[in-house]
Structure 1
Amino acid sequence: MNASFKVQPQHLERGAYLYVRQSSMRQVVENVESTKRQYALRGRATALGWRDDQIITIDSDQGESGASASWREGFQRLVTDVGMGRAGIVMGLEVSRLARNNADWHRLLEICAFADTLILDEDGVYNPASFNDRLLLGLKGTMSEAELHLIKARLRGGILNKARRGEYRCPLPTGFVYDELGNVVLDPDLQVRETIAYFFETFSRVGSACQTVKVFKNEGLRFPSRMRNEKLITFQPLTTSTALRTLNHPRYAGTYVYGRRYYRRTADGKNVPRKRERDDWLACIPDAHPGYITPEQFQQNLKTLEINGRGYEVARASPPREGAALLQGRAVCGLCGRHFRLRYATRRGRQEAWYICDRAQGTRGEPCCQSIAGAPIDEAVGALVAAMVTPAAVELALEIRREIEIRHNEADRLRLRAVERAQYAADLAQRRFMLVDPNNRLVADTLEHEWNDKLRTLANAREERERSQQQDRLALDDAIRERLIAMTTDFKTLWRDQSLPNRERKRLLAHIIEDVTLIKLPEEGTTRIHVRFKAGRTETLTAQNPKSSAQQVKTRPEVLELIDKLLDSHTCSEIADILNDQGIRPGGCVRPGKSDIRFTALRVSYVAQRNGLRSRRDRLRDRGMLTRPEAAARLGIHEATLVSWVRHGLVTRHAYNDYASLYEVSDLSPPTKHCSRWDRLTDRVARMQAVQESKPSHPIKGVVV
Structure 2
Amino acid sequence: MNDTSSKVTVAHLRRDAYLYVRQSTLYQVVNNTESARRQYDLRSKATELGWDHGNVIVIDVDQGHSGASAADREGFQRLVADVSLGKAGIVLGLECSRLARNNADWHKLLQICALNNTLICDEDGLYDPCDFNDRLLLGLKGTMSEAELHFLHARMQGGLLAKARRGQLPVRLPIGLVYDPAGDVVLDPDTGVRDALTHLFDEFTRTGSARAVVKAFAAQQLTFPARHLTGPRAGQLYWKPLGHDHVLDTLHNPRYAGAYCYGRKRHLSAPNGTVRTIVKPREEWTVLLPDAHPGYITFAQFDANQATLAANAATHGDDRKAGPAREGPALLQGLVVCGKCGKRMTVRYHKRCNGTLVPDYACQREGIATGTPVCQNVCGAGVDTAVAELILDRLTPLALEVALTVTDEITAQAEHADRIRAAHVQRAQHTADLARRRYLAVDPTNRLVADHLEADYNTALRELATAKDDYDTAKTNAERLLDNAHRDRIRALAADFPALWNDPATPMRERKRLIRLLVTDVTLVKTGQHITVSVRLSGGQHHTMTLPRPRTAWELHTTTDDTMKLADQLLDEHPYHTTAALLNERGRRTGWDKPFTATRLRALCHARNIPSHHQRLRDNGWLTTDETAEKFGVTITTIKHWNSKGLLTSRRTDGRGTLLFDPAQTRPTKPVGALRNNDSDSTPPTATTIK
Q: Give the match for residue 16 of structure 1.
A: 17
Answer whether contact 2:187 2:294 (CA < 8 A) is retained.
yes
Residue 545 of structure 1 pairs with residue 552 of structure 2: no
Residue 319 of structure 2, aligned match among 301, 314, 317: 314
Give the 3-state SS of the residue equivalent to 2:170 in structure 1: coil
What is the distance in 1 between the residues matched to 2:576 and 2:395?
52
Q: Give the match for residue 303 of structure 2.
A: 299
Alignment map for 1:416-565 (pairs within 5 Å) = 495=502, 497=504, 501-523=507-529, 526-556=530-560, 558-559=562-563
Deviations 1:539-586 (A, max 9, x none): 44454433234433545354477679x69xx93748995675243899
Q: How has the CA–CA distance of structure 1 residues 76 and 360 changed in structure 2, closer, same or farther, with 3 Å as cutoff?
A: closer
Task: Tell which structure's C-alpha radius of gyration is larger.
Answer: 1
Give the 3-state SS of the residue equivalent to 2:196 in structure 1: helix
| One-letter amino acid of the structure 1 residue matched with residue 255 of structure 2 | R
What is the distance in 1 between the residues matched to 2:609 and 2:56?
110
Deviations 1:333-379 (A, max 9, x none): 33333222111122323232212223333334565333222222223
Give the 3-state SS of the residue equivalent to 1:53 in structure 2: helix
TM-score (norm 2): 0.67
Shift of residue 75, structure 1, vs aligned partner: 1.1
Q: How has the CA–CA distance of structure 1 residues 156 and 594 changed in structure 2, closer, same or farther, with 3 Å as cutoff?
A: farther
Shift of residue 320, structure 1, vs aligned partner: 2.7
Answer whether contact 1:495 1:505 (CA < 8 A) is retained.
no
Q: How has the CA–CA distance of structure 1 residues 348 and 587 changed in structure 2, closer, same or farther, with 3 Å as cutoff?
A: farther
Shift of residue 209, structure 1, vs aligned partner: 1.2
Residue 348 of structure 1 pairs with residue 349 of structure 2: no
Answer whether contact 1:117 1:128 (CA < 8 A) is retained.
yes
Residue 101 of structure 1 pairs with residue 102 of structure 2: yes
What is the distance in 1 between the residues matched to 2:60 and 2:292?
46
Shift of residue 303, structure 1, vs aligned partner: 2.1
What is the distance in 1 between the residues matched to 2:566 and 2:54?
117
Q: Give the match for residue 140 of structure 1.
A: 141
Q: How has the CA–CA distance of structure 1 residues 561 and 60 changed in structure 2, closer, same or farther, with 3 Å as cutoff?
A: closer
What is the distance in 1 between the residues matched to 2:600 and 2:36?
104
Shift of residue 66, structure 1, vs aligned partner: 0.9
Shift of residue 196, structure 1, vs aligned partner: 0.9
Shift of residue 83, structure 1, vs aligned partner: 2.7
Q: Give the match for residue 161 of structure 1.
A: 162
Give the 3-state SS of the residue equivalent to 2:193 in structure 1: helix
Q: How has the CA–CA distance of structure 1 residues 372 and 111 changed in structure 2, closer, same or farther, with 3 Å as cutoff?
A: closer
What is the distance in 1 between the residues matched to 2:391 and 2:35?
80
Give the 3-state SS of the residue equivalent to 1:140 in structure 2: helix
Shift of residue 195, structure 1, vs aligned partner: 1.5
Residue 289 of structure 1, aligned match among 274, 290, 293: 293
Residue 364 of structure 2, aligned match among 358, 362, 365: 358
Shift of residue 281, structure 1, vs aligned partner: 1.8
Instruction: List gaps (5 residues or longer) in structure 1.
Output: 393-487, 611-615, 618-625, 628-654, 664-705
Question: Structure 1 vs Structure 2: percent identity of aligned residues?
Answer: 44
| One-letter amino acid of the structure 2 residue matched with residue 343 of structure 1 | R
Residue 267 of structure 1 pairs with residue 271 of structure 2: yes
Q: How has the CA–CA distance of structure 1 residues 593 and 144 changed in structure 2, closer, same or farther, with 3 Å as cutoff?
A: farther
What is the distance in 1 between the residues matched to 2:300 and 2:586?
64
Shift of residue 221, structure 1, vs aligned partner: 1.9
TM-score (norm 1): 0.66
Answer whether contact 1:554 1:587 (CA < 8 A) is retained.
no
What is the distance in 2 between the residues matched to 1:388 and 1:501?
23
Deviations 1:581-610 (A, max 9, x none): 243899964516675367869966985989
Answer whether contact 1:21 1:59 (CA < 8 A) is retained.
yes
Q: Give the match for residue 373 of structure 1.
A: 379
Give the 3-state SS of the residue equivalent to 2:331 in structure 1: coil
Alignment map for 1:99-248 (pairs within 5 Å) = 99-228=100-229, 230-248=234-252
Q: How has the CA–CA distance of structure 1 residues 513 and 307 changed in structure 2, closer, same or farther, with 3 Å as cutoff?
A: same
Deviations 1:266-296 (A, max 9, x none): 1212222233222222222222222211222
Answer whether contact 1:252 1:291 (CA < 8 A) is retained.
yes
Shift of residue 22, structure 1, vs aligned partner: 0.7
Residue 337 of structure 2, aligned match among 332, 337, 341: 332
Q: How has the CA–CA distance of structure 1 residues 552 and 228 changed in structure 2, closer, same or farther, with 3 Å as cutoff?
A: closer
Shift of residue 316, structure 1, vs aligned partner: 2.3
What is the distance in 1 between the residues matched to 2:262 and 2:153?
18
Q: How many residues align?
A: 524
Q: How has the CA–CA distance of structure 1 residues 554 and 240 changed in structure 2, closer, same or farther, with 3 Å as cutoff?
A: closer
Shift of residue 179, structure 1, vs aligned partner: 2.8
| One-letter amino acid of the structure 2 residue matched with residue 520 of structure 1 | K
What is the distance in 1 between the residues matched to 2:195 and 2:316?
34
Q: How has the CA–CA distance of structure 1 residues 122 and 331 changed in structure 2, closer, same or farther, with 3 Å as cutoff?
A: same
Give the 3-state SS of the residue equivalent to 2:584 in structure 1: coil
What is the distance in 1 between the residues matched to 2:381 and 2:354?
15
Q: How has the CA–CA distance of structure 1 residues 104 and 544 changed in structure 2, closer, same or farther, with 3 Å as cutoff?
A: same
What is the distance in 2 between the residues matched to 1:490 and 1:136?
84
Instruction: List gaps (5 residues or longer) in structure 2.
Output: 399-494, 622-650, 654-658, 665-691
Answer whether contact 2:20 2:91 (CA < 8 A) is retained.
yes
Q: How has the CA–CA distance of structure 1 residues 536 and 595 changed in structure 2, closer, same or farther, with 3 Å as cutoff?
A: farther
Q: How has the CA–CA distance of structure 1 residues 198 and 15 changed in structure 2, closer, same or farther, with 3 Å as cutoff?
A: same
Shift of residue 200, structure 1, vs aligned partner: 0.5
What is the distance in 1 between the residues matched to 2:12 and 2:204?
72
What is the distance in 2 between the residues matched to 1:137 and 1:607?
97
Give the 3-state SS of the residue equivalent to 1:583 in structure 2: helix
What CA RMSD, in Å, does the superposition of the two structures yield over aligned residues? Answer: 3.9
